[in-house]
Amino acid sequence: MRSKYGLSFISDDDLYKHVQETIKKYRFSINLTQFNKNLVDPIKLTFDSKVYGKSIEEIIESESLRQIDKSNTNHIGYFHQNIFQYFDGWEVPPKGFDVVHKTSHIFAEMKNKHNTMNSASSQKTYIKMQQSILRNDEATCYLVEVIARNSQDIPWVISLDSEQMSNKNIRRISIDLFYEKATGEKFAFKQLCEVLPKVIDDVIAEEKLGKIENSVFSELKGISPDIVKSIYLLSFKKYEGFDGLAFK
């Protein structure tokens, strides 16, 4: 029977299941505790409101959606990494490297964008790869970039202790070329992108997805009927004099 989605490297059932699991991880709610988890800056919110000509409620709504979106971005990382468990010979280990093909001695770390790692994180990852190729002289380690500047498979050049380092077996590769290595299909990643909207539509048609629930406003009004005052008291209530906060 012809595949519904037409991909040779992953079955319809596995692709549907993986998209479904990703969607189920999506975040649909936020409360005041979550909103203030990293301590909201009321000064910035005030500037944003005044400079952009928006109400404080609109700014809080935007910040709430930004936080939800940040959580969902992590779930897209789950999608990119864990789909490899459905490809022949590939594994997604519980610890260590993100993706492994033991037979081919390929070890990969996946990053969503080429610029998401800071210097310390890059060095730590590179040293991890160095240790792997020292233990296994057949190993090739890849930093797989989902959003790369170019389609590429190049040695990863990095500065360690102010010295430029590179090794032909430690590489930066864009995800299109990594998919080709993983599946044997030259345009596998492009083919996945083409069918992905259809798979998502199919999953959403079957799932009962709720609307975003935001209780931040009602909880702020529990602090004070004045939302602006509530935002300041949320962060500064223990500061001296703020028990008598009154805006001009």
Place of tokens 């959403």: 204
Query: Beta strands of the chain (E only): which ranges?
Result: 29-30, 99-101, 106-113, 140-147, 153-155, 158-160, 163-165, 170-174, 213-214
User: How confident is the model over 63-95, as pLDDT tens digits?
Assistant: 999 999 988 988 999 999 999 999 999 999 999
User: How confident is the model over 194-235, as pLDDT tens digits?
Assistant: 999 999 999 999 887 878 899 999 999 999 899 999 999 998
Given a contact cutoff of 8 angstroms between Cβ atoms, the answer to whether 106 and 181 are in contact is: yes
- Across the range 147-171, mean pLDDT stands at 90
Q: In whole angstroms, what separates CA 75 from the centre of its chain?
A: 6
The model's confidence at residue 161, banded by pLDDT at 50, 70 and 90, is: confident
Given a contact cutoff of 8 angstroms between Cβ atoms, the answer to whether 131 and 164 are in contact is: no
Q: In whole angstroms, what separates CA 152 from the centre of its chain?
A: 21
Share of the chain above pLDDT 70, in %: 97
1 pLDDT above the threshold of 50: no
Q: In whole angstroms, what separates CA 220 from the centre of its chain?
A: 29
Strand partners, 174: 145
Task: Tell me the pTM.
Answer: 0.85
Average pLDDT over the chain, rounded to whole? 92
More confident residue, 129 or 73: 129
User: In this structure, is the dihedral angle defined by the CA atoms of residues 225, 231, 232 and 238, taken in order, positive or negative?
Assistant: positive
